[in-house]
């Protein structure tokens, strides 16, 4: 019932020229893909990637969006700027933004509401750090991130959540499929409690954190996992394509 969504998060990688090369290599490999395929790329790559994906199934995403319409926000990029290029998805609240750039649940909430108001589809990241996990705080952390991050949101139709345990990002450590499924199940139960059973049932929740060709199938087989947010493996066309084509 929920259409799987595999999204690449390129982070701060690929110049526009390199981006086009990667897309050109990727396009034929995902031409018959069943899941929705998205590439979230650096701002400076957006125009070039938009042109490069034309006529393919690949959808365009950005890695962040400002909470304000316009004005004195040096270094920020507005939703209108993204919309004009043809951006459809936007990552919000990635752990690297939270860790290095002071992103909080409150700023995530502001960016999220702006994205929704402007018709962008948000991929909102949540996840616990290793210390939080070791202290058995995973549920408490996720609850705060979800309740504060999604405060005042009523319509979840266009929202995707990415559960990314911070300790699994870029480390080669993956949550076991059972673990990821269980934790995503917890996130779904939180959504159910606050926003109702229908919302929880149709909401797509991805797993992210060292997802790669060798573990994609097992993760995607889990009942609660509706896709992946892929970092490192999204930078290689073959690897990203084999995750997209996890069913074979």
The answer to whether residue 38 forms part of the interface with ligand PGA (CB under 6 A) is no
Tell me how far, at minimum, the Cβ of 95 lies from ligand PGA, in Å. 7
Residue with structure tokens 């609850």? 143
Here's the x/- map for ligand PGA, 193-212, by CB under 6 A: it reads as: ---------------xxxx-
Kind plus residue range of the DSSP H or E element containing 122: strand 121-126
Residues of this chain, 120-179, that bind ligand PGA according to CB under 6 A: 164, 169-170
**Residue 164 bears catalytic tag:** yes
Q: Do the Cβ atoms of 144 and 127 come closer than 8 Å?
A: no
Q: Catalytic site residue 36?
A: no
Handedness of CA 8, 31, 161, 220 (dihedral sign): negative
Q: Which of 35, 93, 127, 232 binds ligand PGA (CB under 6 A)?
A: 232
Tokens of 234: 């999204």
Instruction: Spot the catalytic one: 94, 96, 103, 132.
Output: 94
- Interaction of residue 79 with ligand PGA, rule CB under 6 A: no
Is residue 4 a contact residue for ligand PGA (CB under 6 A)? Answer: no
Give the residue at shortest CB distance from ligand PGA: 231
Q: How far apart (Å, rounded) are the C-alpha atoms in residues 64 and 93?
A: 8
Beta carbons within 8 Å of 220's beta carbon, 6+ residues apart: 4, 227, 228, 246, 247
Q: How far apart are CA 166 and CA 182, in angstroms?
A: 16
Choose between 9 and 245: whose C-beta lies nearer to ligand PGA. Answer: 9
List the structure tokens of 245: 């084509």
**Minimal distance, residue 23 CB to ligand PGA, in Å:** 19
Which residues are marked as active site?
Answer: 94, 164
| Residues near ligand PGA, by CB under 6 A | 9, 164, 169-170, 208-211, 229-233
């Amino acid at each position: 019932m929920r259409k799987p969504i595999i999204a690449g998060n390129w982070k701060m990688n690929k110049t526009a020229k390199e981006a086009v090369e990667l897309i050109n290599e990727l396009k034929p490999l995902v031409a018959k893909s069943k899941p929705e395929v998205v590439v979230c790329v650096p701002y400076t790559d957006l125009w070039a990637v938009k042109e490069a994906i034309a006529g393919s199934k690949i959808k365009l995403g950005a890695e962040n969006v400002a909470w304000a319409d316009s004005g004195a926000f040096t270094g920020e990029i507005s939703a209108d700027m993204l919309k004009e290029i043809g951006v459809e998805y936007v990552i919000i609240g990635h752990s690297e933004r939270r860790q290095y750039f002071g992103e909080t649940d409150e700023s995530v909430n502001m960016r999220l509401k702006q994205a929704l108001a402007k018709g962008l589809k948000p991929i909102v990241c949540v996840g616990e750090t290793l210390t939080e996990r070791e202290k058995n705080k995973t549920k408490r952390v996720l609850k705060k991130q979800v309740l504060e991050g999604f405060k005042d949101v009523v319509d979840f139709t266009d929202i995707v959540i990415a559960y990314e345990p911070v300790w699994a990002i870029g480390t080669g450590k993956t949550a076991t499929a059972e673990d990821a499924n269980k934790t995503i199940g917890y996130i779904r139960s939180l959504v159910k409690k606050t926003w109702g059973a229908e919302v929880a049932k149709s909401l797509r929740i991805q797993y992210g954190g060292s997802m790669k060709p060798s573990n994609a199938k097992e993760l995607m087989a889990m009942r609660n996992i509706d896709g992946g947010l892929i970092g490192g493996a999204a930078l290689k066309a073959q690897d990203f394509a084999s995750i997209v084509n996890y069913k074979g």
